[in-house]
Amino acid sequence: MIVVMKPEARSREISEVIARIESDGYRAHLSQGEQHTIIGLVGESPTPLREEHYSSMGGVQKVVRISAPYKLASRHFHPLDTRIPLNGSQMGDEKILVIAGPCSVESREQIIEMACMMKEAGATALRGGAFKPRTSPYSFQGHGEKGLQWLAEARERSGLPVVTEVMDTAQVEMVCQYADVLQIGARNMQNFSLLNRVGETQRAVLLKRGMSSTVEDLLMSAEYVLANGNKRVMLCERGIRTFEKATRNTFDVNAIPVLKALTHLPVIADPSHGTGYSEYVTPIARAAIAAGADGLIVEVHPSPEKAYSDGRQSLKPEQFKEMMEQVRRVADAVGRKA
């Protein structure tokens, strides 16, 4: 349930509503916009919720019950788009932001070189995996903390903030020392212990949709992070598993406008994992921006044929530059910037 306050509601009246919510055994989440202040009731309590208890209070305009199981992620609770600072811009604002870099951090020289190239091509942030969740236990698993140190050095050299994956609750504290954005991969989207832990941090979180997860599953996972106090959550559509074998995954372009309608959180598209083939990355990137995505996360490698992981879906730097030019044209066509 949410309580919508009148535009002229006084701070004392808002405080009284919050006090009533807490006395009833619920948590109050305050969302203040230009026109209205909205107070969400979250949690469970033996005290039944009665709309008339709140609608009769001073300064209250109306009380609305939210039927969706996700409350904090719902656009009903937070009508205005959430904007998350990233390298002097804001994810979720008018400008399309692009996170780019190799799938894996392979060496110090590689990640520093790639960071400088991505900065020159117009990327907003650097991606790179220090820990790699792989299907086979015999595949390259990443350089761990040494890879994180190289990413931090690449940030110093290029000025690009770092986006990297955290795979386990035990890694969160370490990764927070080096990364600006914590990525939760598709395999961990419903790792609720991990979601709770990153929710306790104040690092921005990039939450990827699970391979067989619905849009509601994704929003419920985001709710775990939000419920623990971290409001800086970005959602990522990265393709889902279907019967189709022509591509690695089936990129669900429908999910982008659906998510934009249901939630206030920024939505990012991953055309690299969404397709699995470099020749399809740019067309899907264009489609995602046209559909309303706030940003992209793209894999780029100087020599994809030599990449330790995901070389087949990685763009070469010159291909990434061309993709950026095309994305700018699409963004301009739909009234945005890139």
Please provide the DSSP assignment of 31-97 as one string.
EE-SS-EEEEEES--SSPP-HHHHHTSTTEEEEE---SS--TTBTTT--SPP-EEETTEEETSSBPE
User: Left if phi > 0, otherwise alpha if psi is -120 to 50, otherwise beta: which for 248?
Assistant: alpha
Other CB atoms within 10 A of residue 172 CB? 17
For 269-307, what is each residue's pLDDT tens digit? 999 999 999 999 999 999 999 999 999 999 999 999 999
Give the closest residue to 302 by CA, choosing from 168, 142, 107, 172.
107
pLDDT at 65: 86
- What residues of the chain score a pLDDT lower than 50? none
Identify the pLDDT of residue 50.
84
Tokens of 67: 């039927």
Q: Report pLDDT for 66.
A: 83
What does the alpha-carbon distance between residue 137 and residue 270 come to, in Å, rounded to a whole number? 25
First and final CA of the chain: distance in angstroms?
37
* pLDDT for residue 138: 65
Domains detected in the chain: 2-64 (3.30.70.1140), 84-333 (3.20.20.70)
Nearest Cα neighbor of 234 from 211, 251, 250, 256 is 256
pLDDT digits (tens, 9 = 90+) for 62-106: 998 887 889 899 998 888 899 999 999 999 999 999 999 999 999
Say what the alpha-carbon torsion angle 244, 246, 247, 250 is, to the nearest 10 degrees.
Answer: -30
Identify which of 44, 49, 56 has the alpha carbon closest to the alpha carbon of residue 13.
56
